[in-house]
């Protein structure tokens, strides 16, 4: 493949990453705030206390601002599959398109209907109907996220399908297998719990700011009461499902796990690096990460830090003596543990690609015996099909950016631990009636919201950068999935989207902060 094609691949990756990261600024706040609103309205419905109505309407206004702006980035994200990744869309459109279609139908018909009632139904429908509309908005919003994450989980672990050699497309065999793919299920639950945590941090941060400014003290304390309880349950759920995610990664994406832990050589009873740092190469951390993205020196990232003995084996397989493969075990193979090298898998993949071409040729020529023979050979090597697009002399190209994966994963874990401490501390301070006097806690609560945003984005960096160069794990690499278009067009739209998305973000921040300054009484 020539340099022009690789430029298209790299810029298409960059554009999709840009869109996804901007989109995820808005989505988690929508997912979590919708349930916080439902909880607050339930309290109002049960008590009839007007202060809860004022509290809910304030947070609903902020929810509405975020919801409206977040829709734009999501639409562009889905269109990019057709513009920049058309080969991917052709290859798996019958499978990947199904959950996206359901998401679109659900978003337009379920979310939009009940959102309208939630915002404009005050004094037009009964309190009970309005309460139901608020709960159904929350459920609909989260169900929309389900289908997106089902699609993403399928890319990480393709199941429930078979490849049709005559149409050159993957076709769905079982929608249930796609929907209940263990990677998809765990990804959905982990993602929404983390989104709930982020939303709780937002409510806590704004409310803490009011307490520091000695404004709306009653509404702020009640908001923190709901948000800290919601956030505590959510961060516990995030941690538990994060453990499940690690086990799924260990089973289906061992190279991602090795990159996340910076594990060069695997071992039985592998230790878990609790706190550590890679040896940053000459030029500093940013230079190391830039080299990492270019595929340089991923095999020589060594980690130093505090290790928990047997921790990684337990985390990955619930067995302190289980073997956890490292980067070099996967690239160069480990005969003792029965791990084939990437060079072997590349050779196997090339056999599959050549057998598929021979099958098509034989079938066209009417040679059914030869076609049947080649088809069997193709099926025998199909599990390595995607590897066949790489050079067996450079298997290192299959290693994701280790430095970025390691730093992203460990920073995310450290922040998650802090959020757990923060919510427990907030709840304790409320219980002891010492929240307003604890200025340190309130300030920490305010700055924890941007930390929550960082943790959210780093989660997606781990998930997506850690599986590179695959678009579909083991089946389709990025250089094959990309559209045959000029890189110049992708570059232009990259910067166009960057300007538009940044403008949307600035607009959201300005409108949000304006609404927050006005407070609960407007």
Q: DSSP secondary structure string, 176-234?
A: HHHHT-HHHHHHHHHHHHHHHHHHHHHHHHHHHHHHHTT-SHHHHHHHHHHHHHHHHHH
What is the reported pLDDT for 419?
A: 96
Both structure tokens of 352? 């599959």
- Answer positive or negative: Cα dihedral of 194, 195, 200, 206: positive
Give DSSP secondary structure letters for 155-176. Answer: HHS--SEEEETTTTEEEES-HH
DSSP assignment, residue 324? Answer: E
Tokens matching residue 84: 């920049």
Q: Are residues 471 and 352 in the same domain?
A: no
Structure tokens at 80: 């990019």
Q: Which domain holds residue 363?
A: 342-396
Let me know whether 263 and 244 are in one domain. Answer: no
Residues 134 and 246 in one domain: yes
Query: pTM here?
Result: 0.91
d(CA 257, CA 473): 14
Rounded distance, CA 249 to CA 463, Å?
9
At 396, list the tokens: 């290192």
Per DSSP bridges, beta strands 323-324 and 303-308 are unpaired
Predicted local confidence at residue 287, as pLDDT: 58
Cis check for the bond before 469: say yes or no (omega within 30 of 0).
Answer: yes
pLDDT at 439: 93
Which two structure tokens, joined as six digits, stand for 398? Answer: 């299959």
Q: Examine the domain organization and report whether 484 and 380 are in the same domain.
A: no
Based on the fold, state whether residues 72 and 25 are members of the same structural domain: yes
From CA 484, how far away is CA 445, in angstroms rounded? Answer: 48
End position of a domain, from candidates 337, 353, 371: 337
CB 221 within 8 Å of CB 435: yes
Q: Which helix (H) or strand (E) holds 142?
A: helix 127-156
Residues 231 and 142 in one domain: yes
The answer to whether residues 330 and 362 belong to one domain is: no
- pLDDT per position in the chain (522 positions), as tens? 566 777 888 898 889 888 888 888 888 998 999 999 999 999 999 998 889 999 999 999 999 888 877 776 777 777 787 788 888 888 887 788 788 778 777 766 777 778 888 888 888 888 899 999 999 989 888 888 888 889 889 999 999 888 898 888 888 989 899 999 999 999 999 999 999 999 999 999 999 999 999 898 899 999 999 999 999 999 999 999 998 898 999 999 999 999 988 888 888 988 887 776 666 665 555 555 556 666 555 666 666 667 788 888 988 898 999 999 989 999 999 989 899 999 999 999 999 999 999 999 998 888 988 999 999 999 999 999 999 999 999 898 899 988 888 889 989 999 999 999 999 999 899 888 888 889 999 999 999 999 999 999 999 899 998 898 999 999 999 989 888 888 888 899 899 989 988 998 898 899 999 999 988 876
Q: Is residue 133 domain-shared with residue 35, that is, in the same domain?
A: yes
Cα(4)–Cα(435) distance, rounded to whole angstroms?
59
Q: Under a CB-based contact definition with an 8 Å cutoff, are residues 183 and 248 in contact?
A: yes
Q: Which pLDDT does position 294 carry in this prediction?
A: 61
Tell me the C-alpha distance between 473 and 367, whole Å: 33
Q: Are residues 292 and 165 in the same domain?
A: no
pLDDT at residue 418, rounded to an integer? 96
pLDDT of amino acid 82: 78
Q: Please report the pLDDT score of residue 108 as a whole number.
A: 66
Indicate whether 351 and 314 sit together in one domain: no
Structure tokens at 420: 């757990």
Burial class (CB in 10 A: 0-12, 13-18, 19+), 160: middle
DSSP 18: H
Residue from 209, 161, 153, 217 nearest 184 by CA: 153
Say yes or no: 210 and 285 in one domain: no
Spatial separation of the C-alpha atoms in residues 302 and 402, rounded to whole Å:
10
Residue carrying structure tokens 């002399």: 393
Query: Same structural domain for residues 166 and 54?
Result: yes
**Residue that finishes a domain, picked among 319, 337, 355:** 337
**How many domains, in total, are found in the chain?**
3
Residue 10 is predicted with a pLDDT of 87
Separation between Cα atoms, residue 36 and residue 196, nearest integer Å: 9
Segment holding 267, helix H or strand E = strand 267-268
Give the whole-angstrom CA distance, residue 486 versus residue 491.
9
Helix (H) or strand (E) holding 471: strand 470-472
What is the SS3 assignment for 314?
helix
Q: What is the pLDDT, as a whole number, of residue 117?
A: 85
The CA-atom distances, in angstroms, between 287 and each of 51, 284, 298, 304, 360 are: 53, 5, 13, 19, 47
């Amino acid at each position: 493949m020539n340099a022009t094609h690789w430029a298209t691949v790299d810029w298409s990756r960059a554009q999709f990453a840009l869109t996804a990261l901007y989109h995820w600024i808005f989505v988690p706040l929508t997912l979590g705030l919708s349930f916080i609103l439902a909880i607050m309205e339930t309290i109002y419905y049960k008590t009839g206390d007007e202060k809860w109505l004022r509290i809910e309407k304030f947070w609903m206004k902020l929810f509405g601002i975020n919801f409206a702006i977040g829709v734009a980035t999501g639409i562009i994200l889905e269109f990019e599959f057709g513009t920049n990744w058309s080969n991917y869309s052709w290859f798996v459109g019958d499978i990947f398109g199904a959950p996206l279609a359901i998401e679109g139908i659900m978003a337009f018909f379920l979310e939009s209907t009940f959102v309208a009632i939630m915002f404009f139904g005050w004094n037009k429908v009964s309190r009970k109907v309005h309460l139901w509309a608020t709960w159904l908005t929350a459920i609909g919003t989260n169900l929309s996220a389900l289908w997106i994450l089902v699609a993403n989980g399928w890319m990480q672990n393709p199941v429930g399908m078979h490849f049709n050699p005559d149409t050159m497309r993957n076709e769905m065999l079982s929608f249930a297998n796609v929907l209940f793919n263990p990677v998809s299920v765990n990804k959905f639950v982990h993602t929404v719990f983390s989104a709930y945590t982020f939303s709780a941090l937002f409510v806590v941060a704004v409310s803490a700011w009011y307490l520091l400014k000695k404004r709306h003290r009653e509404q702020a304390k009640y908001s923190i009461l709901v948000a800290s309880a919601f956030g505590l349950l959510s961060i516990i759920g995030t941690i538990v499902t994060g453990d499940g995610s690690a086990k799924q990664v260990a089973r289906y994406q061992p190279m991602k796990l090795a990159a996340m832990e910076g594990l060069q050589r695997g071992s039985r009873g592998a230790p878990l690096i609790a706190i550590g740092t890679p040896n940053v190469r000459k030029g500093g951390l940013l230079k190391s990460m830039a080299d990492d993205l270019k595929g340089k020196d991923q095999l020589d990232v060594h980690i130093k830090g505090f290790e928990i003995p047997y921790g990684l084996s337990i985390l990955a397989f619930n067995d302190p003596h289980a073997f956890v493969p490292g980067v070099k075990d996967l690239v160069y193979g480990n005969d003792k543990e029965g791990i084939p090298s990437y060079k072997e898998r590349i050779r196997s993949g090339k056999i599959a690609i050549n057998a598929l071409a021979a099958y098509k040729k034989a079938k066209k020529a009417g040679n059914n015996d030869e076609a049947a023979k080649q088809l069997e050979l193709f099926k025998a090597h199909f599990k390595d099909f995607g590897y066949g697009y790489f050079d067996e002399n450079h298997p290192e190209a299959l290693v994701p950016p280790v430095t970025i994966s390691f730093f992203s994963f460990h920073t995310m874990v450290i922040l998650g631990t802090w959020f757990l401490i923060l919510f427990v501390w907030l709840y304790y301070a409320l219980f002891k009636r010492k929240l307003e006097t604890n200025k340190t806690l309130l300030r920490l609560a305010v700055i924890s919201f941007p930390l929550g945003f960082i943790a959210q984005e780093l989660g997606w960096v781990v998930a997506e950068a850690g599986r590179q160069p695959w678009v579909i794990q083991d089946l389709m690499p990025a250089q094959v999935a990309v559209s045959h278009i000029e890189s110049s067009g992708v570059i232009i739209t990259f910067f166009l989207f960057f300007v538009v998305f940044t403008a949307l973000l600035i607009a959201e921040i300005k409108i949000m902060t304006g609404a927050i300054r006005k407070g609960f009484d407007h």
